[in-house]
Chain A
Amino acid sequence: MLELNKVYFTVSDSEGSGGVRNIIDGIDFTFDDGKFYVITGPNGSGKTTLAKLIMGINPLSSGDILFNGRNISTLSITERAKAGIAYSFQQPARFKGITFRDLLTVATGIEDESKLLEILGRVGICPLSFLDKEVDARLSGGEIKKIELATTIAANPKLAIYDEPDTGIDLWTIGPMVSLLKKELAENCTTTIVVSHNKAFLEAADVVMIIHSGKIVYNGSLEGAMPLLDDLSVCTYRDSCEGDRDAGCYR
């Protein structure tokens, strides 16, 4: 169980007025074990920031995060990883001289080739030829996202966070990717949090959460979320611009 108690992430105001702005604005929420959560909401609403607060990549400004009853608010990224949280980055790091095999070994402590192949079989979406590829700038956006997802699953986390896992992934892989996360959840009771706008993930969710201006404005079924999602999809600049007839507006 992951509990967020009055969680804030605050930055100083960009206009230099000395004021502050809450990127995450007092979120209280409990994630139950073995459920599939999809966090969605407009760009800049705080989805990735919230995910990074849970992993410890961003420091909490105030509030507490409890994971299985233990307060992890001040733990480092490393300690949270060891506690069973894994994170899949929206824009994965690229390394010169480090291969997919190396990352899998770091994630699992396993060097044995047959066991690594077993993991690849389990993940399913990465071909064997990836194993000795360097995770560098030569990989395509889709390839590196598959590798990112595989290292997250390989770590056997209790809580897996995926930040926009479908970015750069071809249409034919998104379905299998959703099934894979569902299968991992079913077999290992992995609590799964996906930040995504993709319909395939939203439809797979047990709970859809909508974040807007750093607050959770909805959590529940996708059906219940639809009216709000429709609302949020309307251009937020409409009031300040001339509307649809303004030829300069392509939003």
Chain B
Amino acid sequence: MKRLAFAIACGSCLACITLAPTDVRDASRVDLERAVAVPDAPRAPVPAPVPQVAAAVPLPSRPLKAPPPLFTVLQPVAGKPIVSFRLVFHTGAVDDPKGKEGLTALTADLMAQGGTRALSSSQLLDALFPMAAELSATTDKEFTVFEGRVHRDRLDAFLKIFTDVLLEPRFDPKELDRLRTDAVNAIVNQLRGQDDESLGKVALDALLYEGHPYAHFNGGTVEGLKAVTLDDVKAHWKTVFTQDRLVVGLAGAVDAALEKRLKDRLAALPATGAPAVKLPPAPGVHGKAWVIERDTLSAAESMGASFTLRRDDPDYYAVAFAASYLGEHRQFHGVLFTELREKRGLNYGDYAYAEHFHQDGWSSLPALNVGRSQQDFSIWIRPVEPQNALFAARGAVYFLNALTSKPAPNDRFEIARGFLIGYTRVWEQTDQRRLGYAIDEAFYGTPGFLDGYRKALAELTPEAMLAAVKRHLSSDGLNFVFVAKDAQALAKVLSNQAPSPIAYPSPKPAEVLAEDKAIATQALPVSPGAVEVKAARDFMER
């Protein structure tokens, strides 16, 4: 698409895979079931009791499904002129060797951008440019996606290039240097230096999964990237980009003949390579807080907890809907958005997520093929004025407590339900997105995922939602990350939990002010000894 210059500002063939056994989820429900009293009436601003946080309880890992080698999703669309390729390898940052964090993403980048045996990186650009063909690779914790789009006029030329990228990458040492430097800069300059919100989200991952293969940034660490050699890349390519890890997606102007051509070529990939990484239990921490110190105008906040809930759990739809009710990503009617932004003007937006939150550029749609064996719940508070940092965190906890303690009011429940039944259809409008959902279904074992979601929503009641939420969520399980300038001061108030009243420049309704008094002293589930100040300049160094 021609880029718009905005000054500112957004029939698959499925594997027959049964749902995973449900008993596993009960083994590790930690203390996420504690009921938390919600203050119903205004109170005097007295210091909140400092909570005693229970010890972490590890959450066992449960591997995702392994579809058969070269399992294929074929979705022809009559009359459509565009061909979409979506090749999803079950490999990601978890496959990075210790001390070489970033190897998988760097290998994928070198494949997608570094040229092929026939074409240098420069010639690759020359070939793709006139067709406006799209070819990219993205790496997440457990998956790497090679995405291609081309007009059918140019299919033959593109198919050769797209498969050469996978089968005959050039592995030019000069390109490795270039892409490695870019990857280091993405940490040193972009993540640490110019994106407080991403820094907060990546730091929350690091906090929740300390010592676990999920802990490091998908793009790697500075020292890990610097340790990678060209031989490492070549060896990694052969061992993780293999047939047994690959699901093939084709949509648009496609047919069985194209599927055969593609798969005939992909048969040249190694049949198998390294065994799948056996993930250790997630640490299951709660009650911890990191304050990342950075010279910034405002305070960015993320909070969350790892949990055992996944799409293949019978409670998933109810809890996912509860998160949407609390704060659907970048939408206007969630509880957090309404209460914190609309009524109080705290910031630009406030949202909640029942799966690991993965922002896909400016899109408001959920990212695809970023599945995880181990999931987490999180809340994203967009930057607030520094003096309101604690109040905003307390507000999030206060409204989460309301969600977990009493049935949602019928009127708000119906708004959220009606919205999501319609909005989920917007999630599956493009070929790439439909492929993405079908491929996720294969790995989670959840055929007909979105239809199932809409059906479950139609039958859900506020009481059933509350029951499911109580089985999986509690503010007691939360951990917190703040990115702020005066980190020491924020750490201090987090530890002593002094009241944090808020002042407004305009009149507020009495009911808002009354609720503010309760929020100002809302206990945060953070223990004084679990608050750490960290410097942004050291983040993801090793």
Q: Do A and B come from one complex?
A: no
Q: Which residues of A contact B (CB under 8 A)?
A: none
> B-side interface residues toward A, CB under 8 Å?
none
